[in-house]
Structures are given as C-alpha cells and as structure tokens.
C-alpha cells in the first residue's frame, strides 16, 4: 500500500504506513478505537490513518506495564543505561527521517525538526552517564553504631502526556530519565501527532525486543482526552508528567492529587525579553526573531513580550519590523523557510480571535496581524505595540504574536517581566555585570529560565528545564531533575545492640 | 497578675502571663479576635488566656511581611545564618522552661518535651552551616562563550501551619531553613497550643529586635481554621508548609494549587514495624513500646501496625502485653511517667469510637482498650490482634493503639507494610543483610522513612523527614530539603558576541 | 608483508603490521629510536616489531600538544564529550580484536582481555554523561552584591604512564576523563605492550581525524624509562598519572613535586580477603580463586593474603587446594584456560626467587610453588601457609601466590589486614551486619577499596578506584575522580560599587 | 607575678602569664625544652616567656594522641560537631582579648586581629553544620544484589603546622574541619607566636575538659623546626597540613611522601591585581591599598604585583603614591593605624636586601623604599615601577612592597599574571562581562583564588582557600575541603548469593 503522496514514502523507513495501529500494548501493536487521521498543517490533507486505542487497550497496556515494571526495576541502573544508549543509537540512525516527519506532521521547519530529534539523542547520552550516578547519600548519624542512608528507588510507572509542539523532545526528557531510574513509561502523545508517537515508539520497541526485554516497559497510546484522564486518575501511575496549558495542567494536578499521586508539570509560558539601553542590538534583534517567530510562536518558551528601554525603543522596533517583513513563510520542509503553518485550523482561528482582542484592548499592529490566504494554517508574523497593563498580555496566545512595551528603569522592566501569572522563561540583553547579577538574583526574574544575551527559547539539556507559578513548577532534563522520577527514603540502620534515641531522649 | 496555679509561674520566664496577645504582627503583639483558653490535657483546666487574632490582624501581618521580605532576602545568607544562630542560643538558654511548657500544654512527657526543643536548637545549628552552602551549580554549556548557572533564590514568604503534637519541632524544621534561605515566615500554630506559639515567637522576636531587623520577618498567629484558610488562599505566600491529617492536607493542596502555589505536606502516617524470625527481641520490644506508646501514640511516626513473623508471634505479643501492663500512666511532668493524657477530650472520645470500630471488625483486645476514669484525657495503652485486611488498619487512629498481625514470609510482610494509603515510616527488625538491603531497595518499603532495628519514630535532623503517598510527599529538616524553600533558575549568560543555538540549530 | 604466524593476521584489522611506528606525534606516526619487539608471553617469540620513539620524538610531541591544548580547552565540554562518545563507538566496533590482542600481548585469558576493553567503552559512555556535569558551585557570599563561584577549569596536558597488566583500562580511566575535562593526553604505554599502545592510539586518532581535530590532543609513545622520566620532569605537564610499583611511583612523585606538579598514583597493592566463621563458603572459594589466580596474580587488586577464621581454616584451605589443582593452565586464548603465562621471563624468575624467600621465612607450600617447564613464562598457582609476621607478606610478589593466615577475632583480622604498607583493596566474607558496618567504618579496613562478599578485584567504573598509604592515594574512574583532572578556582565577583571586607574587617 | 608592662595584664584573661608552659600533651601543660621569649614586634621587647617543648614532650604527646584518636573517631560526627560549637562559643567570649593578643604578638592592626579570631569562630559554626553533612554516596551498582557505597572515614591524626602571619585562622581552618571529621589534631604554631598558640589551646582544652574528653585529642607545641621535622617524618600522622614558604613546603612534602603520607600545603603567593582601562578606579585604589599594605604585606594573599593598563597607568599610580603617603604607620593597637611593624628584625633586614635587589634589577622606587628609624621593625609602604621580566618579581618578598607594571591587552595581562611560579590569588578590575568570564575560565588566571573587583586578599570561609603550582595545591576552609581530612573507601557489598563479575567477565 502506498501513501497518498510520493514524497511521504520516506515514512516507511521509520516503520510507518498509510494505515497504522495506534497503541503499543504489552509489546504488541493494536488499536481498537476509532480510525483517525494525521493531517499535514501545510495543506490540511491527510498524511496517514491511525487506528486509535480504546479504553480497553489502555487497561490492557497498564496491566502489562505493572508486571513489566517489577522486572525492569530490578535490573541494575547501569544496565538500564545500556538500553537507553542503544535507543540513542537507533535514533541516530534515523535522525533525518525523524526530523523530516516532525517537520511534516507538526509544521516546524526542518532545522528545528532535526534539532528536536538531536535533543532526544543528547538526552539518551546524558541518561547513560546518569545511570551510574543516581546517587544516594551516606549521612553521618548522631547515634553510635547507626548508619544513615538516603536511598533513591524507582517510583514504578511514569505517565507522560506530551503536547504537539515538542512531541519528541519532551518524551525524551521524561523517558530517558524515567527509564534509567527504573521506571516503566506510559506515553500518550498529542492527538494531532500520532505518526511521531508511533515512529518513536517503534524505535524504542525495537531496542527492547533486541534485548529480550518486555515490551510493556514502554507503553504508548495515540489517544485523546479520554486516555489522558485515565492516566490522571490511575492510582497505578505514581507520577504523571504533563506538558500543556496551565488550564489543563491544573485539572490534571487536581485529579492526580486527589489520589495522592505526583505531578511534573510543564505548562504555559509568557516569556519576555528585556532590551536595556546598553544592549548589543546586533545580538538582540536576531534573538527576538528566533524567539518570537521560531516554531511559528508555538514553543512554550516563545518570546511573547518584548520590553524595550525607551531610549532604544523606536530603533529596535523599526529594525524588527524590517526583519519581520523579510521572513520567508511557506512549506517548512523547504530550504530557507523560517515560518511554517500553525499546527491546526483551530490555531489559525485562535490567532484571528486573538488579534481582534488585542485591537479591542488598544494594541497597535506594527507589522503582520492577518492570516495568509492559501492552503494550510499560515498566519503573518506579527508585532503589536501595547501597554503592559492590557489584560491580553497576561495570557499565552499560541502563535507568532509579539507584544512590544516600553520601560524606563531596570526595576520597572523586572516588575513587568514578573507581573504575569506564568513563570517559564525570560531574557535580558545588557553588558553590565550589575544588571546581569541583579537579574539572576533574588530581586530579578521570577522565572525558571533566566537568560542573558540569548533568546528565551533554546535550552540545553544539561540544565533543568521548567518554570514557576502557573507554569507548574516541574523541572525536566538535566541537573537533578532525575530525583522527581524516584522516591527518596531516609534509612537508618542500627547495627549495634543498643537503642539510643535521637535528640538524646530517654524513654522508659 | 498571677497564674491560676503556682506551678505555672515558671511560664513568666518565657514571656507568658495569665492573659496573652495571640498574634505577632509587624513586630507588635496584638489580638483583635475572641479570647480563647489554653487547656492542660491532664486536667482540662485553663492554663492561661489568649486574645486570638482577627482576620484583620492577619491582613496587617501579611502586608508588613511582604515589605520585610524585600529587606530580608537582600541580606547575604551567611548573615541570615548568624541570626538563626542567635535564635538557637536564645532557645538553649530557655530549653528547660520551654520543654516544661511543651509537656504542660501538649501533654507529652517531660523528656520528650525537652527533646523536642533540643531538636529546634539542633536545626538552628544545622541551618547556620547551611547558610554558607545553599549552593547553586555552574554547569558546562555546549555553546562557546556561554556560562550556565543554576541559581537558588528565596521564594518570598513561607506559610507554616503546624499541628499540636510537634508544635516546636515542625516550626523549627521549617523556619530555620526558610529563614536562612531568605524567606520570611508566617506561622500559624495549632489552636490548642497557643502558649507554645507565643513563647517560641517571643524568643525569635527578641533576636530580631536585638539585631534591628523588622519583626515582620517572623509573623505568628494563634489562630484556627480561618487563618489557615487565609494562608492557603493567599497568593502572596508562594509556599505553604502544612502538617496535619491527609484529609485536611489534601484540601490545603487543592486550594494552594488553584492559585498555582506550592505545598510542602507532612500528613498522616500508618507506620508498621516488622519483626522477622531472626530479630533481636531484646531490641525490638522496647522499640515497639517507644514507637507505639510514646507521645501517647500521637506522633505521625507512631507505630500503629506490628507485623510479627508467625514463629515469634506469640512470644513477642506476650512480652509486649507484659510490658504494656507496667507502663506508668499519669502527669507527664512527673518523673517516671511514660504515658500522659491524650491532647483533648475529643481525642479521648475518638479513641472510644475507634475501639468500638476495631471490635466490630474482628479486632481482639490483647491489653488495654478503655479510657481511664480520672480527670484529664487519659486512655489505656492498647494492643489489638487483627487481620491486615480489616478496613480499620488502613486508617490513622491518633492514640496509643497498636494493631498486631501475623505473616509468614518477608514478601508478605512488605506487601502488608505497603498496603495502606499512607507512606511515612516503617521499620524492620532483622540481622540478615539480604533482608536489610531488600527492605531499603526498590522492592522494599514504600515509605519515606525506612528503618532497620530502630523504631518508626525518632528521626535525626540530618536526614530528610517526610513520606510518600497520602503522607503528602514533602521532605523537611536535613538533606536537600532546603531546595523546597527556594526557587531554582537555570541561567544562561552569553558573554560573547555571537548567537550559537542549542542542539546546533541554524535559524535564519 | 605478513606476520610470523598466520593467527596473528587479525592484528591487521586494528591497524597493526609486522613492523610499526611507535609514536603518535602531532598527528603523525613516527619512531626515530631503536627497533624493539613485542613478545608473546606464552612462547616468548616475537609478534611484531616497533620503531620506538627517540627523545626528539618526545619533544616534538609535547610541543605540538601544548599548542593543541589551547584549542581543545576552548571547545565546550559537551562537544568534547561527543568525541569521546565516538571513541567508545570505534572501540565497540573492534572489541573482539582488541580483546584478542590484549590476551596475546599481555598473556591474560581472552574473557579478561575482552572485559578490559569493555571497561574502556564503559568509561567512554560514563565520560559522555560527565561532560554535561563537570559542575562548579555557586556559593552564598557573606558580602552584599558579591557572587562566589567555584569554577573547574582544565589543567592543560595530562601525562599518563600505564603498566603492562591493564594497558587499556588504565588508559581509559585517565584519558576519557582527562579529555572531557578539556585536557590533552600524553600517553606512555608499558614497554612490553607496544602493540596495544599503537592499536588503541590508532582508534582514538581515527576519531580525532574524522572530526578535524588536531591529532596532538592525544600523543602516544611506546617508550621506556627515558620517556617516563621526561614526562615526570616536564613542567609543561601539570598532572602525571602513574600506574606501577610503589617504589617507582615514589620516585615519580618526588620528581614531579620538585617542579610543583601534581601526581595521580595507582601503586602496589597487597590485598587481603578475610573469611569469617559465618561466611558463605560457596561464595568465598570461587572469589578467592578469581582474586588470587585471575590475570595470573598480576592485578594490583590481586588477593595476596587470605585470612581465615580458625574455625574454618582447614576446611577452606582444603577446598582451595582442591580447586587450585583443577585450574586449567595454558594458552590464554584457548577456551577454558584460567591461568595464562606470567608476562615476562623476568616475572617468572621473580616468582622463583619469591618462593625461595617464602620458604626461608617459614612459609609452607600447600599447593604449587614451581615454574612449569614448557615454553612461555608459566608458573603454578600457589598457596602458602605463613605467619602474618613474616616479612615477605608485607611485599607485593606479582604472581599467583596466595599467603594463607589464621586469626581468632575480627579485630585481629582487621589489624592484620591493615598491617601492610599498601592500602589498595580488601574484602570480608560474612553475613553479619555488625561486622559489615564495622569493616567499612572508621575502625575497619584502611584500604581504598573495601568489599563484602566479593573478591578484592573487579571494580566497577562508577566508583572511585585507588588506594591509600603506599598505594599512592589517587582515585580514578568514577565518583568525583574528574576533579583531579581540573584546577579549581574560588572566584568572588563584586558587581556592586562598594568594598565590604570578609569577616567584617574595617580597613582605612 | 606580673607582666613587664601593665597594658599586658589583659593577657591573664586568656590564661597567659609572664611565664608559660609551651606544650599541651595528653591534657597536661608541660615544657621540658629551653625557655624562649615572645617578642613585641613594635618594640622588640619581651612580652612573656615560654618553656618550649622537648622532643620527649613531642613523643609523649603523639603517643597519647594515638590512643585518644581511637576514642574520638568513634564518637558520632554530630556529637563531635557539638564540641566544636562549644569551642566557637568559648572563642566568642574572648574575641576581643584574643584579637588584642594577635595584634600584640604578630604586629597586625587590631581590626585585623579581631577579624582573624572572628574567622575561627565562623569556621566553628560552619563545621557544626558540616558535622551532619560529611556525606558519602550510594552509587548504583551494575551487579544485581550489590550495594556500592562511597564512605568517608577519619584519617587519624592531622598534623597542623602554621605560620606567624595567620596563627589563628589557619589553625581554625584545619582544626575545625579535622575535628568534626573525627581526627585528632597535633598543632605546631609558629616559634614567634607562642602566646597565641597557648591561648588558643587553652580555650580548646577547656571545652574538652568540660566534656570529659581526653585532652590528647588536641595536642599543641610552641616548637621550632625540630618539632616540625618530627611531625613530617612521623608515620603515625597520615596528614600534615603545612602553611609557609614554597621552599620549606617542598621539603615537608618530600619528607612526608617518603613515608607515603599526605600533605595539605598552603605555600607562597605572588598575587597580581590587574586594572583594566574600564575599571572603577574608586573601587580599585582602596582595594590595592588593602591588598598591598594590609598586614604589612605579610599575607600569603598580599598583592605584590599591580598590572595597569597603559591608558590608566599614570593616573592610578599617582593616586596610589598619594594614598601611600597618607598611610598611618605605628603601634598596631592604636586606632587609625593602617601599617604596623614587620614581624621580626629579620623581616626588616629582608626588606632592606629586597629593595637593593630591586634597584639592581632596574626597579624604580615610586614611594617608600626605606626602613623607619624607630624601635620595632617598621618599614615604609613601597611602590616600585619595574618590568615584568625582572627576576625579582617572580619571588615573594614578604613585606609591603608593590611592583607596578604596564600592559596593553587583556591577553598580555593574563600572561603576566600566570608567568610566576606561584598560583595563589589574583584579581581583575573591570566591568565587562566578556573580560570577567574569560578571566575565570580556562584561559584566564591560573590561580586558586580568582577575584573580580575585590582585592587578592580577604577570602570568605565558605569557599575553598588555596592555590596552584608552587603554592602547593591544598584547599582549606569551605567547599569540599573536608574531604582532604578523611579517607575515602569505595565499598561494594554483595548481599545476594551469587558472584557476578564487573564488565560481565566470566571466570571459570
């Protein structure tokens, strides 16, 4: 059987066909739910079809996963690391095909598609090293003949619910760490990126099979809200890692809390770049462009607010308007394209509504502001001059819309930066140490990512990724993020024959 | 003015009188709410009266605290440590008076009262050292001329809501760390231990005043549920540390989550001791006694379930029944007393209801089971033989009631240990390394505290204190608990003049 | 040109021929010194010839290395990690050939040869992860507007001098870490294992070339003492990592110290296994066999002393004598062989002298004690009963000779264990926690490696490898060993406009 | 008996008299060597007399110390921390007397004397916290049923040999950490500061006695080179911490290495301040003054070289000459004095010789250059213009002599900074981030202390103190310096019943 378009044939190299089964359950591909389509956002035509999972598929998957987890958590961590290394190698072998698929199904430009898969590969390599460093502690006890240990043990099953905009990277952040930590993974990809869910899962499944490991260690569903809710409610899943909007994330958290489970949340951002009067404009302008227009403004780290010092306001704005006009819009797989389509028709509609709201709140369109009349969900990259007090700037409009505001002092700029409910990413452009260190200190940005002279987006995996406030507080990828995927026990072992009590208490 | 009883006169040494103002707001003692009484649980007579805070007192306090926090977070951490050191010294000077007050107002025996204050002193010393070690990281960046830092900054205000059973220690765990981390503290003590709230606050306030620091850095309320709810809802308080029941804790979490705030929860425990056939019985029996009867069974780490290997079941049970019969019950301030009263008449009533329920579910009283007919809230230390499948053993009955169960294999014992909703503390008595290491490993106890040859209670401050599942997942005191009192920023500083992107992406 | 023996032809797969150039200098293979031979210890016939380096080759190499280092240390650590990952993959592709070469040139059995190469591969994987975790610290400053950082920077050139017995693994421990840390490596392999030096270097050089990196980042010499001394004296080499005897190691240290350089020393071991009366003999006997006979007793971690509790002395000794008699001796490449030849005729001669000395000091041969009359340097695996006070047991006799001694109490056993000048490895066999924790505590073994129920040899790379006292104090491979390959700077940055002094000093 | 001068009477408050016993051995004060004098450097008159220790006193002391160590290392670390806390409190009570003594006997100004004692107090507080954080690690093992631990155990006895210029602080750095780590301390103070040695020891001894601990845990000698050599040679002392010149330090290291002992060296510095063209001169000038003239130039961190950018060379030099002329010279105890005497007549003579040598190598005296003709060892604060290639600038002249040099580029300045054998401290004054981060990075300063906009001296205890190259490589005080006072064991515990080998080796 062939794909509708000849240039989709490459998908066969990564295990995809025109019809695909949409869940990987106990090592078997199946799909007993409705048939759904994967759609190309550049033309809104079907790429391929998927037999989605039913809730019975889900139940079957989790049951198998519970059993597989018992085996997996007993395998020594460095051996688990070896499997993750093999996953990295398997991804490396398919890097370009996967990158191409990302570009096709999400709509992001090819360089970003490949970069995203590279990020998962980097995560694999990082996790391999980590597999020998999931260190607990030996802590001095105040009691003689007592040994105090802080142990880190696997949680069990980690549920991972990812969004359309980073369908690979976010899985990579979670799964690589979760797996070396000894957890099984249950993945629900975004409903609009089922082919990526399937392709990634096939690669991982291949490694498990080659090593005679139970496939149920990695269980995947191309499902929608029903599967997501099942995961949130499922007390067999101690940790749910969710990426999405603050609104949905809060619902997930409340549901998971109700059963005393844990959440790791990566929710909405509303990220500002501050440009000080002493900034290097040559560095700042392309940074803003990448941060605001990259991925069509559909990153959680997309720059949505640009705070310009009054003394350079006009100059920078003019430069940006100029640059925006030259942005090449079109097929994201084509060389030179910087701006592809929005992901869905609904996103495009949302853009239209957003622009109306902006105007109604006094926003002045400096450039862009319209949809593009062609097939696919294309819109213009847009700059809006607006007051920081407008309500609309407190919200995340998921598209290439940048709000520009003016400030007079550093303190004012920081106050505006911190004045929104979200707390993901933030950047400042300056060359003054006193500003840099204030910005990253107690009275600076209140975000989880605090940059200087680089855009709000484009994090490295070695650091912890995530944000504060309505962004949800989770941290993924590097640093000690792995601790969230394990449970900590404070263990005190008395190997003597007496019973001294802490704080010198004498009882009886 | 004098206290009702002459032996209460010592309270004057720690700043208490027969009438007291119940809130410390912006450095001033006030109380515009109703007058309430502190009651001695050994006789249910009033010790002293307190003018409770009104909600206006609360609002005034928080407003001042917001301002004071701006000052406090700018003081270098080692200087903040110096103030905490002085608090420790001030407590040391009043150790015995404070211990005595604890015994009087809570009802715990004097040794435990003094031990609890000692724990706060230990926390102060620990926090002083920590004030030079709240270390962030310098992480290698993949980009040339980039510096990646993980910074830890103060959160702002930390709300601390404590329970009656550890009115000092839990405040100490939270406040010592919160303060060196650069946060202000808003404390709501338990409504039934207002004198302790006032006495502790007076000592801390004294240090702040001596150093000309704003009193609002430490704000305290002898309030009830109304103040608690105000804290939970207050978006000026980014972190709420709550100690209490799982039920109330869940409500706090949902309320705080709603405003995207953070919680640190120390909730119910349902802690088991497992005694293996090879255990040292001489060590195990007094451990069980301390764990089950200490603090009248009103610790969150109290042993509530005793799992005995069938081969030593009868022997250990007989020994325990013997020992229980010799427990000296009475005035907790009297030398030799091991068991004081329950904290309130309601607790005593709860005990009565609990025993009825136990009986109705097949529990067999081996010893105790009745209230003691005298003034005060005294009950008998009680041992019950019961099946692990009885519903009642899944719940936390806050009193000196121990459920005894029989098992055949280690796996069965671990399964019973892990079969309750709570996950705070757990112990095993054995001398076999294969059992010890299994117990603390991935297939062992699922609790936050996992002990060997010591009781479930009596943690050292150097380790992290807290538990999993319905216990809430928070960790207090030692290890890296301090990180919960700070916000983490991943900072990338570009000090070069070019803009390389992570994952080698080429944009534009 | 062909090899003397047809079964040496496989060497061509790893870049070796009958004649080889013995130094890799500035990316070029050369050798202006005398021609030397690589000899098969199983028959003392030449395998191939090598043109050894002259001192001019050395000088040329170091000069190029100095320049290459300036480039290498500027490449971001995660990128350096990527090259090390590629080295790991290149080794993986040649694992079996390299293992075979190790077996051939060193004389160790094939399983150990392959295991040793695997260890280098493991080190590469570990180092890749480490390349994003060479973390410095952000330390709270006591001064306002000051930032205190602990930075880790590369040292420059690391000299690595390895011994014949682990010609790959020790290079791997050092080079993998040194390279990700940003250092160049100058390697001098053992004079008797030149083919391994060349084969390993070719693989690494291949990766450098493929990535257009200067070859001089890795500089290698098949040289002898002259090159070794040149490295020790060379002030362009801030760190010399030396593996060998305590005697030569001390000379290296004194030479390097004279120029205020640093040493990382892995010197002699004299490792004991203690078997307690409660030990699992089924576990202990094969452990002793592997530890004492493996690698023909030529590991630095070889068990040389066996301390038996008097109650099981005879039983264990008899079992060992039995087992020793069944050890298959012969060609190390042959399946089933457990004991190959000693590395050189000199080693064999040393064995003969050692046995004489042992006898003269009252040692009683329980089994073995003779050389084997056939081609190659074969000797019998030997067990000697001897007093712990004999002088000979304080020395390291590099061959398969095991001293057996009797003890009565744990304290006595620990005292004997600690009574030798060396402090590398040590093991105890017991099932009692009180013994285990004493053994690893302040009053237990004084060695760098302290095992329980496993042999003295066979370390994992995740831990730090090395020993105390005459073993030299260095630590290689895992844990924080990487810190030895970097220089630490305590950096304080004042970004304010005032000059507060530490300790509150007021000056002027 | 009275002191020669009435204003010495305060010494009685800290346990000193006109005649004193000069060693604290096994808890007893004694002195069987010659009688020596403590001399006031401000007038070269005797302050008091001391009966110095004989080598027999030494031997007696070490023997007792060996025994005491066995007890001390068994006391849990947090309890050891409690004793160190009490030492801190005892010092706090005598802070001003001790500071005054420091000023009197060393010759440093009072503010610095008090600051130095404060530093020891800070170290005590820091060490108390550390006593619950001397953490080992639990490292994931690659073998099932194996537990890998990294344990840190005490070394035994730590020998501490201190210099005259920081007779308290250096003891504090070493002793506080050594003690909480479980080591005993053997202290040899400088021969010219015996009263400080005695006074400090009395305070520590008082705490030991109060707690019924063996006095031999802290053993002290007011001795000279003979005692120093005895410590270096003594194989009962596994670690010798030495502070002094590079020349003597090297001898100590070679002696200690000969017996395979460890050294912790704090040797000569030759510290530069670089002032860039963009520097804040108002900050730089007082920094240079404090760094070059403070402690009469007798700190190991004293600034000895001032590198001025050519564009601000004349301006800064003129400002400094001006400031130098106003420095108040005189009795260090007098208010307002900034420059006291050199420590000994020999130091003064050394100054004279140094100035001659400087002149002979082309140095041009900008200000100062002469001794001051009055009683005591006073010299003028001196600035010399000189070429960076003059030999004399490679050496440490221990007095208030500052070499000023000119440079054109940052690279040139860094090259000059790094061109001396020593590598202790260094500073740069600039406001440019690209310079700051280069300076602290791989191609910046090669020193252990790398400052920005603060002087070379005045370190905080939270960081690690020490330097590279001829400065000896040791690190004291904060960060992970404590690890040098402990021995590390990599422990692998097999708690299963099988024997898997690392690297998957199959043996027999």
pLDDT digits 0-9 by tens, C20-31? 999 999 999 999
pLDDT tens digits for range D32-77: 999 999 999 999 999 999 999 999 999 999 999 999 999 999 999 9
A328 and chain D in contact, CB less than 8 A: no
Question: Between β-strands B486-494 and C476-477, what pairing exists: parallel, antiparallel or unpaired?
Answer: unpaired
Provide the mean pLDDT of chain D.
96
Choose among C140, C461, C491: nearest Cβ to D450.
C491
> pLDDT value at position C439?
98
Task: Name which of B483, D132, C463, D72 is nearest A139 in CA terms.
Answer: D132
Residues A225 and A323 in one domain: no
Query: For residue C415, what pLDDT band results from cuts at 50, 70 and 90?
Result: very high
Q: Are residues B263 and B307 in the same domain?
A: no
d(CA D432, CA D423): 24
**Contact: C136, B131; criterion CB under 8 Å:** no
Parts of chain B with a pLDDT under 70? 505, 508
Substitution target in B78, B89, B128, B132 with the highest count of D β-carbons within 10 Å is B132
Q: Could D153 and C442 be called an inter-chain contact, meaning their C-beta atoms sit closer than 8 Å?
A: yes
Residues B47, B195 contacting (CB under 8 angstroms): yes
Same domain, C44 and C134: yes
Chain A residues touching residue D140 (CB < 8 angstroms):
76-78, 131-135
Residue A501: inside a domain, yes or no? Answer: no
CATH number, domain of B75, equals: 3.40.605.10
Contact D433 B130 (CB under 8 A): no
Task: Indicate whether this complex's ipTM tops 0.85.
Answer: yes
The burial of B371, by beta-carbon neighbours within 10 Å (0-12 exposed, 13-18 middle, 19 or more buried), is given as middle
The sign one gets for the Cα dihedral C198, C203, C204, C207 is positive
Task: Select the residue of A78, A133, A495 nearest C437 (Cβ to Cβ).
Answer: A495
Q: Is the pLDDT of residue A238 over 90?
A: yes
* Phi, psi (rounded to 5 degrees) for A438: -65, -45
- Taking residues A55-83, what's their average pLDDT? 98
Q: Which residues in chain C (20-39) have CB-CB distances under 8 A to chain D?
A: none
- CB within 8 A of B459, min separation 6: which ones? A490, A492, A502, B301, B449, B465, B477
**Distance in Å, alpha carbon of B505 to nearest chain C alpha carbon:** 15
Label the pairing between strands B19-21 and B45-51: parallel
In this prediction, residue D508 carries a pLDDT of 62
pLDDT value, residue B508 = 62
Q: Is residue B41 within 8 Å of residue B343, measured between CB atoms?
A: yes
Percent over 90 (pLDDT), chain A: 97
A133 in reach of chain C (CB within 8 A): yes
Q: What is the CATH number of the domain that holds D445?
A: 3.40.309.10
Domain identity same for B135 and B191:
yes
Count of domains forming chain D: 2
Tell whether C257 and C295 lie within a shared domain.
no
* pLDDT in the model for residue B106: 97
| Interchain contact A490–B (C-beta under 8 A) | yes
Task: Report CB contact under 8 Å: A126, C129.
Answer: yes
Name C405's bridge partners.
C307
Residue at B181 is within a domain: yes
Asked whether residue A234 is domain-assigned, the answer is yes
C359 in the same domain as C225:
no
* B218 shares a domain with B344: no
pTM across the whole model: 0.96
Is the pLDDT at D152 greater than 90? The verdict is: yes
Please check the confidence at residue C508 and state whether its pLDDT lies above 70.
no
Do B23 and B161 fall into the same domain?
yes
Interface contact D131, partner A, CB < 8 A:
yes
What pLDDT score was predicted for residue D15? Answer: 97
Of B122, B125, B437, the CB nearest to D147: B437
Pairing status of strand C28-30 against strand C271-275:
unpaired
**B376 within domain boundaries:** yes
- CB within 8 Å: C142 and D460: yes
**Residue of B138, B152, B436 lying closest to C151 (CB–CB):** B138
Q: In the prediction, which pLDDT does C344 show?
A: 97
Contacts B–C by Cβ distance under 8 A: 75
Q: Using CB atoms, which residue from B287, B461, B468 is nearest to A487?
A: B468
Question: Does a structural domain hold residue C414?
Answer: yes
Cα distance from C138 to chain B (closest Cα, Å)?
4
Sign for the pseudo-dihedral over CA of B26, B30, B36, B37: positive
Is D263 found in the same domain as D279?
no
Out of D260, D458, D506, closest to residue C469 by CB: D260
The span from the CA of C433 to the CA of B430, in Å, is 10
Q: What are phi and psi of A355, to 5 degrees?
A: -60, -40
Residues of D in contact with A130 (CB under 8 A): none
In a domain, A494, yes or no: no
First-to-last C-alpha distance (Å) of chain A: 81
Range of the domain at A13: 6-267+472-489
Give catalytic residues of D, as residue numbers. Answer: 266
Q: CA Rg, chain D, in Å?
A: 24
Calculate mean pLDDT across residues C83-107.
98
3-state helix, strand, coil in chain B (%, to 5): 40, 25, 35
Contact (CB, 8 A) for D481 and D475: yes
Domain co-membership, D117 together with D154: yes
Q: Is residue A381 part of a domain?
A: yes
Residues B430 and B484 in one domain: no
Q: How confident is the model over C188-214, as pLDDT tens digits?
A: 999 999 999 999 999 999 999 999 999
| B139/C76 Cβ within 8 A | no
Chains that touch A (3 or more CB pairs under 8 A): B, C, D
- Of residues C499, C501, C464, C302, the one with CA closest to residue C382: C302
Task: Specify whether C276 is located in the same domain as C261.
Answer: no
The two beta strands, D19-21 and D45-51, are: parallel
Check if B286 contacts A (Cβ < 8 Å).
Answer: yes
Portion of chain C with pLDDT greater than 70, in percent: 99
Residues of D in contact with B141 (CB under 8 A): none
Distances (CA, A) of B296 to A391, A500, B336, B380: 55, 20, 14, 9
- Band (pLDDT 50/70/90 cuts) for residue A6 is very high
Whether A488 and B436 lie within 8 Å, measured CB to CB: no
In Å, how far is D78's CA from the nearest CA of chain B?
9
Q: Answer whether residue A508 is part of any domain.
A: no
Best residue of A140, A149, A180, A503 to probe chain D, by most D CBs closer than 10 Å: A140
């Amino acid at each position: 059987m062939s794909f509708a378009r000849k240039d989709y044939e490459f998908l066969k190299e990564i295990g995809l066909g025109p019809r695909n089964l949409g869940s990987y359950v106990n090592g078997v591909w199946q799909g007993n739910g409705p048939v759904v389509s994967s759609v190309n956002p550049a033309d809104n035509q079907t790429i391929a079809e998927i037999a989605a999972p039913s809730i019975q598929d889900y139940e079957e998957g989790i049951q198998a996963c519970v059993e597989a987890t018992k085996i997996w958590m007993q395998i020594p961590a460095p051996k688990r690391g070896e499997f993750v290394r093999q996953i990295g190698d398997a991804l490396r072998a398919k890097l370009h095909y996967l990158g191409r698929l990302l570009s096709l199904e999400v709509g992001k430009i090819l360089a970003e598609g490949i970069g995203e898969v590279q990020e998962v590969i980097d995560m694999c390599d990082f996790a391999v090293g980590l597999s020998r460093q999931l260190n607990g502690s030996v802590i001095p006890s105040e009691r003689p003949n007592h040994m105090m240990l802080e142990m880190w043990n696997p949680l069990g099953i980690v549920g991972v619910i990812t969004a359309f905009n980073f369908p690979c990277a976010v899985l990579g952040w979670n799964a690589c760490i979760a797996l070396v930590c000894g957890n099984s993974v249950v993945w629900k990809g975004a409903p609009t990126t089922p082919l990526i869910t399937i392709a990634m899962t096939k690669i991982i499944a291949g490694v498990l099979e080659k090593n005679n490991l139970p496939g149920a260690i990695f269980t995947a569903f191309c499902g929608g809200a029903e599967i997501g809710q099942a995961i949130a409610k499922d007390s067999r899943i101690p940790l749910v890692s969710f990426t999405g909007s603050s609104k949905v994330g809060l619902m997930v958290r409340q549901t998971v809390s109700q059963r005393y489970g844990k959440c790791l949340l990566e929710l909405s951002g509303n990220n500002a770049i501050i440009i000080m009067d002493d900034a290097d404009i040559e560095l700042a302008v392309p940074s803003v462009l990448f941060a605001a227009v990259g991925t069509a403004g559909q990153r959680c780290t997309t720059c949505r607010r640009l705070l310009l010092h009054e003394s350079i306001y006009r100059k920078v704005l003019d430069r940006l308007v100029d640059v925006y006009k030259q942005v090449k819009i079109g097929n994201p797989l084509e060389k030179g394209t910087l701006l592809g389509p929005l992901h869905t028709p609904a996103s495009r509609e949302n853009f239209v509504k957003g622009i109306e709201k902006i105007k109604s709140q006094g926003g002045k369109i400096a450039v862009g502001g319209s949809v593009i009349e062609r097939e696919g969900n294309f819109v213009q990259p847009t700059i809006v001059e607006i007051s920081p007090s407008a309500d609309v700037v407190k919200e995340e409009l998921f598209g290439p819309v940048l709000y520009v505001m003016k400030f007079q002092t550093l303190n004012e700029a920081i106050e505006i930066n911190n004045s929104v409910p979200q707390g993901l990413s933030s950047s400042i452009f300056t060359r003054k140490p006193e500003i840099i260190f204030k910005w990253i200190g107690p009275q600076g940005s209140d975000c989880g990512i605090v940059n200087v002279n680089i855009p709000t987006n484009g994090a490295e995996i070695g650091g912890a990724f995530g944000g504060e406030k309505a962004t949800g507080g989770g941290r993924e990828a590097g640093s000690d993020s792995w601790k969230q995927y394990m449970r900590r026990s404070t263990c005190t072992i008395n190997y003597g024959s007496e019973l001294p009590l802490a704080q010198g208490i004498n009882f009886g």
